Structure 1
Amino acid sequence: MIRISPRLKRETAVSYLFLLPALSFFLIFVLFPIFRGIYVSFFDYGLRKFTFIGFGNYVRLFRDPIFLKSLANTFMLVAGTVPLILLFSIFVAANIYTKKPAVRSFFRGVFYLPAVSSIVSITVVWGWIYHPLYGILNYVSEFVGIIKEPIAYLGDERYALAAVSAVLLTASVGQPVVLYTAALENIPLSMIEAAEMDGASDWQIFTFIKWPALLPTTLYILIISTINSFQCFSLIQLLTAGGPNFATSTIMYLVYERSFTLYQFGYSSAMGIILGLCIASISILQYAFLGRDTSC
């Protein structure tokens, strides 16, 4: 039998005491709500009713045209923003990481500023940019001849989701730019110089030296950006409230609306479970395709 020294026991007990606040928070505010949500999703749960209906909420979901439209909007939002976040962040990082430290710090600060700014202030600014009468976007577009009359970007079904996606993009590139810049700085300069002396082009250097070194960072950014895009809520609530005609409604916004406006807690819990399954499935696929090539 292995004997454990009293000192090791004391250190272990102290370690668990330090972990206790974070562990308690996780159990109470993360794990318990997840299992409670799964449980509630099998009930017709409102203000004055709590009736077991089995998979009734899930069957109802996939017969609900509003939910199906919100599901499609959610996937379009993710598909339209996540690749652009990756490409734009790599482009910016590749162009600033060789600059002087002061220049790098300036650009990293500029791109990271929206990440530490209030989401309310960001949406207010973009609301004025998109304003159909006084917005600078319409003014500049009319001035250069792109459009002939003002466009209600947030009030037109054709443009509303793209307009929200643009705001989400600008608010999401800060952290990826910083991470990619740091990852590029960690690539040994001698490897790049040796490749240049051997006649490798910039594209070959990026493909065979830089990109493999960026894969672990890319995997992390890809998963985090996907999760954040799936959970986009504040921008939609403040800019469009899901309109016009549910053109910008997402699952996350619909969960909020069904829970706190219509008090359909069981139905909204089923939506949350479907959203969680979508996020988990896509994250697993992303890790399956990129994780095997990383050193994480």
Structure 2
Amino acid sequence: MASLTARVRDRRTLRRNLMALTFLAPAIVLIGVFTITPFVNAITLSFQSWDGISLDTPWVGLQNYEFVFKDDEFWASMKNVAVFGVVGFFLGNAVSLGMAIAVNRIRRLRTFFRTVFYLPGILSVVVVGVIFLFMFEPRTGVLNRLLDTVGLESLQQNWLGDPTFALPSVAAVFIWFHWGFGFLLFLAGLQDIPEELYEAAELDGARAWAKFRYITWPQLAPVTTIVSLLTLLAALQIFGTVQVLTNGGPGSHTLVPTLLIYEEAFTNNRYGSAAAMSVLFGGALVVLSFIQLTIARRRADK
């Protein structure tokens, strides 16, 4: 009887697994065709030399990787994208969380603010770039004219042309463009926290910081993990914002790996070295994602 029951259970399990695989098959095929196959092709191409036109793709071994490791522009772009990652991860998430807490505390106009704060995220990256090009224009731009109006003309700068201010300016645009997504997720997480926890904390005499530290922050841990990972990946893969605003200039002060890979392939016609850059940069993203998810999982298990 026990063996019969076990066989029936095994058949049901097999049936469920087959049904699950049936529904997953289209997604698996799409991932295989549009993700895994290009990734394998990129790895193969990174060991070859190709100009994008000829049919000959000679095997060059590690020459492309040697070129990349000796390329000062590649390491400059990695340094710049690290700045975007740090700014997006810490400052971007802090802005999103702060605004979510502020909107969550109000009762009226919550829907209005939720819509307005998320609005930048639905704009095209080209539209955002053009808007801020006009704002940062050194002679007639809104920012410099505003500084002149309030008597702070000494603070006027060539925001996108000065190596000192170009990278922070682009980073500020990135935060404005992307913070709405994290804001909505944090706001949803805040609204899921039971009010009874805050009421109990108030009875114990807890102040605002104590309630945030011991209630809000721990309860938002799952949301924080998702927002942090997505924000970090978006910052590290920034492309359109930089291309529209500065195209990597002045010099290489705002150059990022995605833009460098694009130029290496489609401008310089060196697809092999571009593939090597893609493999190294993509591998770094995978490692960072794995580390962040591991830390978040260990934190959730405590």
Q: TM-score, normalised by structure 1?
A: 0.92
**In the TM superposition, what is the alpha-carbon distance from 1:18 to its structure 2 partner?**
4.2
Aligned to 1:98: 105
Cα deviation 1:233-261 (Å, max 9, x = unaligned): 01111111111111111001001111111
Among 84, 96, 109, the alignment partner of 2:91 is 84
Amino acid at match of 1:39: T
Matched-pair contact (CA < 8 Å) for 1:242–1:248: yes
**Structure 1 pair 74–148 and aligned structure 2 pair: CA distance change class (3 A):** same
Q: Provide the rounded CA distance (Å) in 1 between the counterparts of 2:17 and 2:219.
A: 37
- Retained in 2: the 8 A contact 1:93–1:181? yes
Q: Is contact 2:167–2:253 with CA below 8 Å preserved after alignment?
A: yes
What residue identity is the alignment partner of 1:33? P
Residues 1:45 and 2:56 are matched in the alignment: no
| Contact 2:42–2:275 (Cα < 8 Å) also in 1 | yes
Structure 2: how far apart are the matches of 1:71 and 1:149?
A: 30
**Deviations 1:258-283 (CA, angstroms, capped at 9, x unpaired):** 11111111101111111112212222
Aligned to 1:26: 31
Shift of 1:142: 2.1
- Output the aligned Cα RMSD: 2.2
User: 2:64 corresponds to which residue?
Assistant: 57
Quote the Cα distance in structure 2 between the aligned partners of 1:103 and 1:295. 38
Task: Tell me how far 1:122 sits from its aligned partner.
Answer: 1.1
Q: Which residue of 1 aligns with 2:284?
A: 278
User: What SS class does the counterpart of residue 153 from structure 2 fall into?
Assistant: coil
Structure 1 unaligned spans of 5+: none
Unmatched segments (≥5 aa) in structure 2: 1-5
SS in 1 for 2:105: coil
TM-superposed deviation, 1:53: 1.9
Contact 2:147-2:155 within 8 A present in 1 as well? no
* CA drift at 1:150: 4.3
Question: What is the distance in 2 between the residues matched to 1:171 and 1:294?
Answer: 30
What are the within-5 Å matches in structure 2 for residues 189-204 of structure 1? 189-204=195-210
TM (normalized to structure 2)? 0.90
Deviations 1:213-244 (A, max 9, x none): 11111111111111111110011111111111
The secondary structure found in structure 1 opposite 2:95 is: helix
Code of the residue aligned with 2:88 in structure 1: it is T
**Residue 172 of structure 1 is aligned with which of 155, 178, 186?**
178
For residues 17 and 211 of structure 2, the distance between their equivalents in structure 1, rounded to whole angstroms, comes to 48
> Which 10-residue stretch deviates more, 269-278 or 14-23?
14-23
Match of 1:74 in 2: 81
Offset at residue 175 of structure 1 (A):
1.1
| CA distance in 2: counterparts of 1:126 and 1:224, whole angstroms | 24
Q: Is the 8 A contact 1:45 1:267 kept in 2?
A: no
1:102-131 residue CA offsets vs partner (Å, 9 max, x unmatched): 522111111111111111111111111111
Distance in 1 (alpha carbons) for counterparts of 2:35 and 2:67 = 27
Whichever structure has more helix as a proportion of its residues is 2
SS class of match (1:294): helix
Asked if the contact 1:85/1:169 (under 8 Å) is kept, the reply is yes
One-letter identity of the residue aligned with 1:123 = G
Q: d(CA) in 1 for partners of 2:28 and 2:20?
A: 12
One of 240, 243, 246 as aligned partner of 2:246 = 240
Distance 2:178 2:209 in 1: 26
CA distance in 2 between counterparts of 1:174 and 1:295 reads 29
Q: Which moved more, 1:183-192 or 1:53-62?
A: 53-62
Equivalent residues, number: 294
CA–CA separation in structure 2 for the residues paired with 1:283 and 1:266? 26
Structure 1 CA distance for aligned equivalents of residues 76 and 144 of structure 2? 28
Question: Of residues 104, 115, 118 in structure 1, which corresponds to 2:121?
Answer: 115
The alpha-carbon deviation at position 192 of structure 1 amounts to 0.5
Displacement after TM superposition at 1:2 (Å): 3.7
- The aligned amino acid for 1:104 is R
Counterpart in the other structure of 1:207: 213
**3-state SS, counterpart of residue 97 of structure 1:** helix
Aligned-partner Cα distance in 2 for 1:12–1:292: 29
Change in CA separation of 1:150 and 1:192 when aligned onto 2, cut-off 3 Å = closer
SS in 1 for 2:154: coil
